[in-house]
Amino acid sequence: MNKLLKKLNGNIRSLPYIGKKTSERLIFALLETENKKLKEIAEILEQLSQAKTVCSNCGVKSLSSPCEICNNAERDNILCIVENSKELYKMELAGIYNGKYHVLDGVISPFKSKNFDELNIQNLIKRIENEHIKEIIIALSPLPEGEITIRYLIKYLSGIDIKITKMAVGIPIGQFLENADEITLKSALSGRINAKD
């Protein structure tokens, strides 16, 4: 393979969520695309790299801080806790939820040696108070790491009187959000269960 293409492949493969096949498909697509379009994409990527930031309030990877969701006064006073930005955007795309979010940026993981205090929880209690949050929905995957994180979160929030629920799904949240239809999503959200039990 040509040196430049090898470099491109290495860079694309280093992106999260991108496997071998997607990388190959993307490279073929770029090779077949006219130069004008390629330059336009390069310019957009440059602009993106300048604008990309992390919302100082909820932790989502966004183009402004505070992000559009945190800035939106029309949002319900419910806080949905998700593992990462990808899952937040999937929830948004599903269009089933009008509350706010808090992105943990991971879950407790003995394998990746990620502790609870390394998660984005520093301003969580302050947010609940300042933004008059009435309920917390924990939307973490029902895997051992997600379950441990839920337990820590409940303990962490035990000092404040707030309703804490979790989404009723039996598979990893990301997979669930990707595959479920609107009705299933709605019933998972409306059928959420008390997380403190």
Closer by beta carbon to Zn ion, 55 or else 164: 55
Binds Zn ion by CB under 5 A, chosen from 26, 35, 57, 173? 57
Which phi and psi angles does 145 have, rounded to 5°? -65, -40
User: Smaller CB distance to Zn ion: residue 13 or 61?
Assistant: 61
Question: CA distances (Å), 153 to each of 38, 66, 82, 107, 110, in order?
Answer: 45, 23, 12, 11, 16
Q: Could you identify the residue written with the tokens 């808090």?
A: 102
| 22-51: contacts with Zn ion (CB under 5 A) | none
Choose, by CB under 5 A, the member of 23, 67, 157, 192 that binds Zn ion: 67
Q: How far apart are CA 16 and CA 21, in angstroms?
A: 14
- For residue 28, the tally of other CB atoms under 10 A from its CB is 10
Number of residues that bind Zn ion (CB under 5 A): 5
- The answer to whether residue 124 forms part of the interface with Zn ion (CB under 5 A) is no
Residue 151 and residue 184 in contact, taking contact as beta carbons nearer than 8 Å: no
* CA pair distance 187, 57, nearest whole angstrom: 29
185 belongs to the binding site for Zn ion (CB under 5 A): no
Site string for Zn ion, 69-108 (x = CB under 5 A): -x--------------------------------------
Which residue, 54 or 154, has its beta carbon nearer to Zn ion?
54
Q: Quick one: which segment of 11-19, 66-74, 114-122, 184-192 binds Zn ion (CB under 5 A)?
A: 66-74
Euclidean distance between CA atoms 58 and 62, whole angstroms:
10
Q: Does 55 bind Zn ion (CB under 5 A)?
A: yes
Q: Any contact of residue 164 with Zn ion (CB under 5 A)? A: no
**Near Zn ion by CB under 5 A, which window of 20-28, 52-60, 151-159, 166-174?**
52-60
172: left (phi over 0), alpha (psi -120 to 50) or beta: beta
Which residue, chain included where needed, has tokens 């300048």?
A: 50
CA end-to-end distance (rounded Å), the chain:
57
> Among residues 30, 54, 58, 189, which is the contact residue for Zn ion, using CB under 5 A?
58
Binding site for Zn ion (CB under 5 A): 55, 57-58, 67, 70
